[in-house]
Structure formats: structure tokens, C-alpha cells
Amino acid sequence: MKFYIESYGKINLALDVLNKRPDGYHEIRSVMQQISLSDQLIFQGQETGASIQCDNNSVPLNEDNLIYKAWKKLSDITNSKAGIAVKVSKRIPVAAGLAGGSGNGAATLLALNELWGLGLSIRELMDIGRTIGADIPFCLLGGTALAEGIGEKLTPIKSFQDKSILLINPGIQISSGFAYGLLRMKDERLPIDSLIKHIEDDNLIKVAKNIGNVMEDAILPLYPAIDEIKKIMIELGALGSLMSGSGSSVFGIYEDPEKCDFAKNKLVDRYPYVFNVLTI
């Protein structure tokens, strides 16, 4: 039996970092938004172990992959000896601030829950996922949500779906650990409560004015291409533009889908990854 599943990416409409915890993780407050850009995963049972194939050479195929970690965690919890073979068709750029790896891990939990007939609820899978990766619970929940703690404490927000987003990645890979290591804490907080209100009011213009990411202060000086993309998006009609997560992907919010298409066509030959996506 084969099981097909789409693994969706996310952007951070806001990302604030509150402090660093004794365990090395950072307390965050973030508005996460699922987007239509996805990887496709095909799962098939095998006798033992977990084997991973991927059409992107940047993706690890060993125990460092969150697919493997998700399989191992569920195997340990259920005392299952069953193996899994996974084939990944990768569209989401790697190490790009889009939770591509976390989405693959979440998809693995969903697939094994079905293939192994475990009957676990989404909430139960989220509790398991949080022990594997901080973004996995959101990738299971989807939609729009306020993320707190290290990203695992989630409060759903009224749907912000079907908004036109231009997404560009300049081909730069930035690990989250490296990015957070550069961060300097600030007392000033982002207007996240205002952003949530504007999302719930479906006021796209005010949403775009209240997006923010404290990681930009650390990342943009090292990678000027990211700031360049932000500025170009604004010049090409975006209401607002922001780096997602720890980078290096940048998104622009467009009120007019035709302007979004126009901007994509202008930039598609300039950068290695250019997508028109929708919020979901």
C-alpha cells in the first residue's frame, strides 16, 4: 500500500524572540501562516528501518532527517518493528525559513498514523511532534496560528487564507542554529497583538504594515541579497515584504493577484526560487 501526502510550507508573518532559555532554546512569539507551496511524499511499508529518497541533494537521507526522527519516535512509542520507505519530491527550498523539513516530519507522523492504524488524534500527534522539532506541531495544525514557547504552544487565529504571496529564495541556506546564535535581545516588542487583530478583521493593508521579524537585524547585514529582494518586492507593488523565520526566503503580500503575477514574471529569471503561492 502506498500513501501520498502533500507537505506544506509556512511563513512567519511576525517573529519576535523574547529571551534565551537555560536549555539553549529561545522563547518566541510568532504568527505562523501555512502556504500552498508543498513537497510531495510517497510512503510505502518495508520490513525494517527507514529509507529515504529525495530529488534534492541538499536533503540528508540519514537519521538527521526529520522523516527518520518521526518514524523512530513513533516506532519507539508503539513498539513497532515495521519499516517505511519514503520518496520525497522537493519543491520547498532547504534551510530557507519555510519549515520544509518540519513539514516532512509532520507528514510522516500523519502517514504512519494511517498506515499503522494507530488512530491518534491531531492533538496527540502534535504532542509527539513537539519532541522531534519545534515547528512540527504547527505543520500538523496548519492554517494561521500564534506560536509561543519554542513554537510548540499554538493558538489558532481566524483564517487568513487565499491571500496572494510572492515568495523568493536567493539560493542561500541558513541554519536556524546559526541565525539564532547571531541574535541580540531587545526590550522592544513587535506589535503582534495588533497584527492578529488586523488578520481577524481581514484588513490586508494593515496586516502588511504590522508584519515584522527581529531576525532581520542579525541576518540582513550578512546577506544583502535578502534586503535587496525586500526592496524590489515593494517597488513591484507588494503591500509589505519580510524575511521568513531565520531566512533566507522573503515573501511579499499582494492585494492584487495580477500584480503578484507581474512581479513573479519580472523576477523569475533573476533568482533560483520564485513562487506565487496562496495562504491556506
Annotated catalytic residues are 10, 135
- Cα 208 to its chain centre, rounded Å, is 19
Report the distance separating Cα 60 and Cα 73, nearest Å: 18
User: Positive or negative, the Cα torsion across 195, 197, 199, 201?
Assistant: negative
Report the distance separating Cα 32 and Cα 12, nearest Å: 5
DSSP character for 126?
H
CA angle 103-107-110, nearest 5°? 140
CA angle 119-122-124, nearest 5°? 75
143 neighbors 159 (Cβ within 8 angstroms): yes
Report the distance separating Cα 52 and Cα 223, nearest Å: 32
Cell 527581529 sits on residue: 214
Report the distance separating Cα 115 and Cα 278, nearest Å: 30
Report the distance separating Cα 80 and Cα 73, nearest Å: 10
116 neighbors 82 (Cβ within 8 angstroms): yes
By residue count, the chain amounts to: 280
